[in-house]
Structure 1
Amino acid sequence: MNGIEIAGRYYRDEVAPQLWDRRHAAALLGAGSEVLGYDDDLGSRVLGARLVRELMRLAFLVERRWAPYGKWFGRAFGELESAAELKPLLDGALGAPGWRERERMVAGAATVLARRTNGLMLAGPVDPAPRQFYERDITVLGAERFTVALAEEITDPVLRGLVDRLGLRHGHIPRLPGTVDQAVDSTDALAIPERFRKAAPLLGIDLHVVGREAV
């Protein structure tokens, strides 16, 4: 087994499970109309576009493909196996006339990715159906359920130690570090290792501790 294959299996089985953490973002789509009592359609559109981007990034992750930077992002997404199923939903979310339709499209795309995540068999199957967000009139995937299921399968001692050190939210949801490009959106920073490594503390990662445990 060559080094690239070993690295790929490590990423698939140990690193990828740390990235499925999208608990509250989808619930913000209807924040203006449903909670505050006024229509903030522009704000909902901006949040919807952000969610579309995150769902596209998850599609790359599920298919074990690296997402390129912005200039090539959309074109590379179109080459993914899941693009044919996801693109109509994502287009619908971006062009929806109101937040309720936007919510429906986002939830549909998230369900597609949830089913495909189950298909990877990295953890036991999780119900991919959307559900109500607490008692509010909002529909979300409930992605924290995937976070819990996937994190439980991390066995590598270095990554297991990192996840355990970051602790839990709400008593049962692991605080996963994710990746640096979830916290930093600058090509100038992400293209230079010396720069993006300095962002590690933003994710709760102590590179000195991780480095010592990896030796």
Structure 2
Amino acid sequence: MSDASRLQDAQVIPERFRWALRLLLTVAVLWTLVSLVGLVLQVTQLVNWVQPGARVPVTFSTSFELKTNGGQNSYGGGPFVQDGQSVTVTQVATTLNGVPLINRILLGAAPIVWSLTGVGVALLLGFTIRRLIVGTSFGRGLARPVVLAAVVLAIGSSVAQFLELATPVAFGAFAWAAPSGYPISISRASAPGFQFGPLLAACGLLVVALVVRRGLALQRDVDGLV
């Protein structure tokens, strides 16, 4: 392959990679904006997986208010007609109103932080890979994005996990926002904990950055000998 062909390939690959990064960034920004608007403006809809007229066991626990046909007794979850050991659902209430804004934000903040963290790390590493494809020599400008990616991963994952601890509080507000003031049943098992996987990955990125800087030092030594 001639030098001209190699130069042309080196220019085409980074250009395609640059467009891929731009597309990823655009999708991430749009998704984040839509998610934030949805959290602020949404009227929460519960999953309507029990249709009116369906017969379910009397011990069935639903995520909406159940009442007898006369509306005198509550069962724990939309109106129903009891018949022996089963009930017939006559109405399903799936809309929750009056959920505080802070609870809606808490419910979606952790996934958004996780997403932004992943996008940030991907962009920083993609910037480094692009510079390597172009043929950039080892230097501080090549190691710095890797260090920043490690910092973003460590901080972003820690903040996201902290927000996940507040998620049960948000679910509690949803549970008491059911129609007529009856609490709904939202099943979510959670226990305090911390995932060290992202931090270990951040340490791995720091090791890569140290290797890059070591390569810089070796290159300087070689340049000094030439």
TM-score, scaled to structure 1: 0.29
Please identify the structure whose Cα radius of gyration is greater.
Answer: 2
